[in-house]
Structure 1
Amino acid sequence: IKKSSKAGIQLIIDPSSNTLGIRSLPKNPEDYNLTWYKVGNQTSVPRDKLSRIHQQKSLIWFLPAMLEDSGDYECLCYINCRNLTSCSKMYTKVTVFERVDGLCLNEKFAVEELIFTLSPGRIVCPHLDYFRDEKNTLPVRWYKDCQLLEGKRFSSFNRDLVIFNVTLHDKGNYTCKTSYTYNGKQYNISRDIILSVEGKCLHCCFVHTNDSPKCLDCNATGAAAYSMFWTGNNVNIDVLYMSRIFAKLYE
């Protein structure tokens, strides 16, 4: 789900079915009564959980979302505060896209994220909060350019992907996939991420007695390197601060 400044929401759906949940109010309003409508329809969104489109508390759910669900939705809210009642409306535009078979990424839907080289990087699979609970703990699978990520450099932790020893080659298009079970039926969920990677410089620092550290810069240009490191007398200098000579990341 991607929210815009105009409260619009965009969603890519898989023809095999996907899910969408959108919220009208903050998580914990003190006292309110709200109802969802599709603009132009006098009948409110049903609260029957067996209905494909239904309202749960402040959320409207599409299980699954379909192309014809695109349109403007209105949330009518009555808030009671200190014996005073106010009424407000919020309009949300929902656009449902169909995922094209073989297409690894849709740029209109993708979220942009940034990590840095020379350290582990974490990529977040966004907008999964409402689909993760004690009944929905299926692992999140990660792909880059439609290829499943495997190997010791990649580790999935909850909804995040951790990349060890990040290099500039790790930039690209990523997709996270999982499933959501509701009323005994399983729905597919996927999110697209455009990942950027920026390099860091690596200092080599010398500490003298009663003196501040003196550092040398290591700057790499040209082809993306898989690693940068300092050596002294053919011995690697670790990124530690326990010895007189150490390497230091510069961000």
Structure 2
Amino acid sequence: MMVYVHLIFLSIFLPASVISESYDAIEGEALVVRCPNNDLSAKVTWYHTDTRKRIPEEEEGSRVFSKEMFLWFLPTSLEDSGNYTCLINYPDGSQKGRKMNVQVHPCKQGMCFPSRILYANETRKGKISCPTFKNYENATIVQWYKDCKPLQGERYFMHDPYIFIENLNKEDDGYYTCRFTYTHRGRVFNVSATRIFISEEKHSSLPVQILFPKDEDVIEVELGAAFSLKCQARLGIKKQPVAVVTWDVNKMPAEYADEGKINQEVIYFEGEHQEFYGEATLTISNIEHTDLQSSFSCVAMNEMGNTRITVTLRLKEKCPQ
């Protein structure tokens, strides 16, 4: 009976679009996801959001398991990517659900950190903390990197979970990756996490990154129906002097497309950690066969340069009768 009660609360507290936090990890490393709950007296239960299947506590040989407010992946696998729910049961009988997104990136030769950076930092103090480090007990940082190059020199002083930088200058801005080891039941796991460091409180451009959709995606549509294509790109830290996110249709700007049928709306906004984003929405009022033969390219640009991805459309397959 308690399981069904939990599922009822999950449907109440977890709208499909609400993500409390996101975690990125590299395939084959350890990952600990923390439920955002500050009440230590509350009981936390973990679920697979899509299947509503409960994640049990650790058993001998478990790879994915729950332990109080933590969800463990020892180690991660590509199949772990998805949404997870922690259901918080408070002593007064009330409940709250939080949805966490996990994205496991393939381990590629020469890759220093996942392409999606979620841990942003803006400071003048010259102290950079290692993201997620405190979720692991008895962890030890092995090496710090800046833009994938090992940090060395008298200007850098490491004291877990921080690295301190003396005599800051603009060249210190960039991506900082900490790599550390974590030992569990005699097994040693590697962990890496990256954050952005900005030495001055002003805008800083980053290499343009289109977050979605992915290049060469094929998107299903229905003939005669209206459809919207969204493209979101990260352009830097704080408002950018050069910021463009827009759609091209068949290599022509969207504004030159069929005006009565295709429209575009663009917005720009700052994220939780002052990341600056642009989002372009291309709306097609009526999908026709000609649209299935068209290419749709999202173009994003800032001071550092530009990038583009291209997607195509296809008819949604009908379910067999």
Could you tell me the TM-score, scaled by structure 1's length? 0.64
What's the counterpart of residue 128 of structure 1?
133
Q: Distance in 2 between matches of 1:153 and 1:181?
A: 30
Which runs of at least 4 in structure 1 moved beyond 4 Å after TM superposition?
none
Q: Deviations over 1:54-105 (max 9, x none)?
A: 1111221111121111222233343332xxx234433333222224322334
Q: Which amino acid aligns with 1:179?
A: T
- Spell out the pairing of 1:96-107 with structure 2 (5 A cutoff): 96-107=104-115
SS in structure 1 of the partner of residue 135 of structure 2: helix
Q: Distance in 2 between matches of 1:159 and 1:87?
A: 33
What's the counterpart of residue 169 of structure 1?
171
> CA RMSD of the aligned region, Å?
2.7
How far apart are residue 115 of structure 1 and its match?
Answer: 4.0
Q: Deviations over 1:99-135 (max 9, x none)?
A: 432233444224232344xxx61111111111143xx
Indicate which of 58, 64, 74 corresponds to 1:53. 64
Between 1 and 2, higher relative CO (CA 8 Å, sep ≥ 6) is seen in 1
Q: Which amino acid aligns with 1:55?
A: S
Indicate which of 139, 156, 159 corresponds to 2:158. 156
Q: Deviations over 1:3-54 (max 9, x none)?
A: x9721423121x4x21222233524343x43321213446421212431111
Indicate which of 45, 65, 71 corresponds to 1:35. 45
SS in structure 2 of the partner of residue 46 of structure 1: coil
What's the counterpart of residue 204 of structure 1?
none
Larger radius of gyration: 1
Q: Which amino acid aligns with 1:72?
A: N
What's the counterpart of residue 4 of structure 2?
none
Q: Distance in 2 between matches of 1:89 and 1:145?
A: 37
Q: Where is the helix percentage greater, Structure 1 or Structure 2?
A: 2
1:24 aligns with 2:35: yes
Q: Which amino acid aligns with 1:114?
A: E
Q: Distance in 2 between matches of 1:40 and 1:149?
A: 41
Taking only the aligned residue pairs, the percentage that are identical comes to 30
Q: Distance in 2 between matches of 1:115 and 1:48?
A: 39
Consecutive unaligned residues of structure 2, counting only runs of 5 or more, are: 1-16, 203-321
Evaluate the alpha carbon distance shift between residue 140 and residue 42 of structure 1 in structure 2; reply closer, same or farther with a 3 A threshold: same
Q: Distance in 2 between matches of 1:34 and 1:198?
A: 40
- Spell out the pairing of 1:149-228 with structure 2 (5 A cutoff): 149-198=151-200
SS in structure 2 of the partner of residue 169 of structure 1: helix
User: How many residue pairs get matched?
Assistant: 185
Q: Distance in 1 between matches of 2:107 and 2:117?
A: 11
What's the counterpart of residue 86 of structure 2?
75
